[in-house]
Chain A
């Protein structure tokens, strides 16, 4: 029996298990027109790679170039707030196309090279140890609250020169910014509170770095203003963006990856045999198997035909990492969690000119966490039953609300 594919991507079923829904789209209608949100859902691996590498056809300036109203619908009285959101988002460097994107990215790029990020490994190791020491004493932890969240917040805060006492404030603002990927009818209020709060918070930090630059990342951004590449608003927005992007995605890598090990004890046993040797390929498989980011948006810059479907200029396009990373044409036995998988050319960090700037940092953090868990806690067990785990209702992030475990 053929059933019509429903278009609501925020139902409890789709949020709990995106793989069945997006996998069905990939198998039955890989370039799918979603009528409800008026967008093309692109779900195959090879299409995603092709699309992300043809940035001249598919614009990343989504908020600037999208002529349509917010989706899903928002309260009509919040239209003014939506304008604020659009203007805020439009100043993020990731919301630009070439040549501006290249110029902006190059300001930050040298800070995030693989070599530079590798130098942070000892700091990450020490932070993981400290967090796990605290958990070990209690014998249990919520992986989300006690490990996955504090670690990346600590690292990015250190890079930005944010004092320890202000990290929880930054995290609270970040949680409001996550409403960007949600479907709540009244999401504009918390979202704009987060945006305004971030601008207010980072303003004085940037002021200080303009006058007195250091070797932190905000100073790198501030140097972009001095050189005329960024406006002040762009410095503030991009500082906020990096504070958010620098930890939110890694939170999900750590939590989803740990969850994958809990559900596949054979793979955790395998990692325990050689934590140092397998941490790298294990992290790649965690990134593929339950990717931190589910989907990203583009806007068509021109009419373009893909697999017989005609995308028109200004059409919305959303490409789904969740389905591409489980595409059987790209990965043998894609539903299997296999930490020795090779090759593993997943697209968890996207591809092309907008490939994730912080990929190496995320990898370092993931590797150190999975290695330490395997070395220290052979009896790691979940406290949650299948089906008990709850995910944030986001179209963008694959994000658990909590993941309670016992350690001994």
Chain B
């Protein structure tokens, strides 16, 4: 079974580029301010979530292993 992740988006940094939503649409969604929110860390695969984080143009996405606290991105 896939490990559990903790995923969050820094709202101070997010510019609503929406690349994350296009890569991992089950894990990220734009809110009414058109900024990204991490809606479900189990929605997309870990690989997709990390791809979304890496492709954020302003590095606003953070990913951790929920159990160990290990930082997976950045």
Which residues of A does B touch, CB under 8 Å?
A: 52-54, 102, 105-106, 109-110, 112-115, 343, 345, 349-353, 355-357, 359-360
Q: CA of A115 to CA of B56 in the docked complex: distance in angstroms?
A: 10
Q: Which residues of B from 10 to 52 have beta carbons under 8 Å from A?
A: 12, 15-19, 22, 33-34
Contact of A106 among B22, B33, B57, B58 (CB under 8 A): B22
Residues in B with CB closer than 8 Å to A102 are 22
Residues in B with CB closer than 8 Å to A353 are 16-18
Let me know if A114 and B17 touch, CB within 8 A. no
**Residue among B17, B33, B59 having the largest count of chain A Cβ atoms under 10 Å:** B17
Residues in A with CB closer than 8 Å to B57 are 109, 112-114, 355-357, 359-360
Residues in A with CB closer than 8 Å to B16 are 52-53, 351-353, 355
14 CB < 8 A contacts A-B: A52-B16, A53-B33, A54-B34, A109-B57, A113-B55, A114-B56, A114-B57, A115-B74, A352-B17, A355-B15, A355-B17, A355-B57, A356-B57, A360-B57
Q: CA of A359 to CA of B55 in the docked complex: distance in angstroms?
A: 13
Let me know if B15 and A114 touch, CB within 8 A. no
Contact of A53 among B12, B19, B34, B54 (CB under 8 A): B34
What distance in Å separates the Cβ of B23 from its nearest Cβ neighbour in chain A? 8
What distance in Å separates the Cβ of A403 from its nearest Cβ neighbour in chain B? 29
Which residues of B does A touch, CB under 8 Å?
A: 12, 15-19, 22, 33-34, 54-59, 74
What distance in Å separates the Cβ of A154 from its nearest Cβ neighbour in chain B? 23
Q: Which 5 A-B pairs have the closest CB atoms?
A: A53-B34, A53-B16, A355-B17, A351-B15, A355-B15
Closest partner residue, chain B, to A353 (CB atom): B18
Residues in B with CB closer than 8 Å to A352 are 15-18, 34
Residues in B with CB closer than 8 Å to A350 are 15
16 new A-B pairs (CB below 8 Å) besides A352-B16, A352-B18?
A: A52-B16, A53-B33, A53-B34, A102-B22, A112-B57, A114-B56, A114-B58, A349-B15, A350-B15, A351-B15, A351-B16, A355-B16, A355-B57, A356-B57, A357-B57, A359-B57
Let me know if B22 and A359 touch, CB within 8 A. no
Let me know if B58 and A109 touch, CB within 8 A. no
Q: CA of A110 to CA of B15 in the docked complex: distance in angstroms?
A: 18
Q: CA of A114 to CA of B17 in the docked complex: distance in angstroms?
A: 14
Q: CA of A351 to CA of B33 in the docked complex: distance in angstroms?
A: 12
**Residue among A53, A106, A359 having the largest count of chain B Cβ atoms under 10 Å:** A53
Let me know if B58 and A359 touch, CB within 8 A. yes
Residues in B with CB closer than 8 Å to A360 are 57
Q: CA of A212 to CA of B74 in the docked complex: distance in angstroms?
A: 33
Known: A114-B59, A357-B57, A359-B57. A109 touches B15 (CB 8 A): no
Q: CA of A349 to CA of B13 in the docked complex: distance in angstroms?
A: 13
Q: CA of A53 to CA of B34 in the docked complex: distance in angstroms?
A: 6
What distance in Å separates the Cβ of B57 from its nearest Cβ neighbour in chain A? 6
What distance in Å separates the Cβ of A365 from its nearest Cβ neighbour in chain B? 16
Residues in A with CB closer than 8 Å to B54 are 113, 115
Q: CA of A63 to CA of B44 in the docked complex: distance in angstroms?
A: 37
Closest partner residue, chain B, to A114 (CB atom): B59
Q: CA of A102 to CA of B25 in the docked complex: distance in angstroms?
A: 14
Residues in B with CB closer than 8 Å to A109 are 19, 55, 57
Residues in B with CB closer than 8 Å to A113 are 54-55, 57
Closest partner residue, chain B, to A110 (CB atom): B55
Closest partner residue, chain A, to B17 (CB atom): A355
Residues in A with CB closer than 8 Å to B58 are 114, 355, 359
Residues in A with CB closer than 8 Å to B22 are 102, 106
Residues in A with CB closer than 8 Å to B15 are 349-352, 355
Closest partner residue, chain A, to B13 (CB atom): A345
Q: CA of A351 to CA of B34 in the docked complex: distance in angstroms?
A: 10
Residues in B with CB closer than 8 Å to A106 are 19, 22
Contact of A343 among B12, B19, B74 (CB under 8 A): B12
